[in-house]
Amino acid sequence: MSHFGRSGPPDIADTYSLLVLNITFRTTADDLFPLFDKYGKVVDIFIPRDRRTGESRGFAFVRYKYADEAQKAVERLDGRVVDGREITVQFAKYGPKAERIHKGRIVEAPSKSRHRSRSRSPRKRYRDDSRDRDSRKKSRSRSRERSDRDRYRAKDRDYRRRSRSRSASPDYSRGRGRGRYDDERPSSSRSRDSLSPRPSPRRSLEPRRSYSPRKTSPRKNSPVKSGSPDRRSRDGVSPIPRSASPRGRPAASRSPSPRNSDVGVSCSPHVPIYRVHIRIS
């Protein structure tokens, strides 16, 4: 069964692809097969691996023959610890060659379907349960103060996700064609080619408002780890236990707290204020 992924996709007609994330870099298709095969007929398993290093990229695709089996595998194997890591199983979202997937199912030929594009949810990726890893990406402000040496250090790992999400500023690129903000300018002949970047209308002044529950030492610790490899963290930066098992999935979304902010209706529209000038002759 080790021929999975060796010789292309056997038959991807009416198959249900599952994306298996967070597998170890050593996990192979042979390791995943017995697990997934217990829950259904596994047609193919493919683990994308890097062209350069040959290492697996940490995720795999498992194709089932039937949807119910795939669904059951998702429910059963999602969160299962495989080889020391907790894997995440979910339906694959994109097809191998931009093939259309209808809820995990790969319909045969894209040309057959007349529908050009149903809601593929192009931009918005699946809002996966916010794991601890997400916080790292978020907190990573777009500071380009990373020294070049650090970039090379992290390049061997970052090349994956860079190739995927190229543009880092989708919002700004949208208004490239024609400025939407023309409206605000009444008749100012100042063309939009002004080098001065317009101030963003609303920019969060303070990203993190939550004060740390721990007592923060008043010493100024640089938030970014700018170089300084010799920086010995002897303060006892507790190494995060790797088996933190972030399986905690916040099923209950945080309460939106719909406070009854009574909008001031004090000024009733019915009673306009008339300002009458009484001129005493």
Task: List residues binding DNA (CB under 7 A).
Answer: 5, 7-9, 12, 17, 19, 21-26, 44, 46, 48, 55, 57-59, 61, 63, 85, 88, 90-97, 101, 106, 125-126, 128, 133, 136-137, 157, 160-161, 164-165, 242
| Angle at 99 (CA atoms; ends 10, 38), nearest 5 degrees | 45
CB atoms within 10 A of CB 22: 17
CB atoms within 10 A of CB 50: 13
Smallest gap from residue 269 Cβ to DNA (A): 49
- Token pair, residue 194, equals 């002004």
- CB of 68 or CB of 154, closer to DNA: 154
Smallest gap from residue 146 Cβ to DNA (A): 15
- CB of 164 or CB of 219, closer to DNA: 164
- Token pair, residue 191, equals 């063309």
- CB of 22 or CB of 33, closer to DNA: 22
* End-to-end Cα, the chain, rounded Å: 106
Tell me if residue 135 falls in helix, strand or coil.
Answer: helix
Task: Quote the CA–CA distance of 32 and 41 in Å, as a whole number.
Answer: 13
Residues 44 and 70: beta-carbon distance below 8 Å: no
- CB of 103 or CB of 190, closer to DNA: 103
Smallest gap from residue 212 Cβ to DNA (A): 21
Smallest gap from residue 128 Cβ to DNA (A): 7
Smallest gap from residue 226 Cβ to DNA (A): 17
Q: For residue 39, give the nearest of 96, 83, 93, 80 by alpha carbon.
A: 80
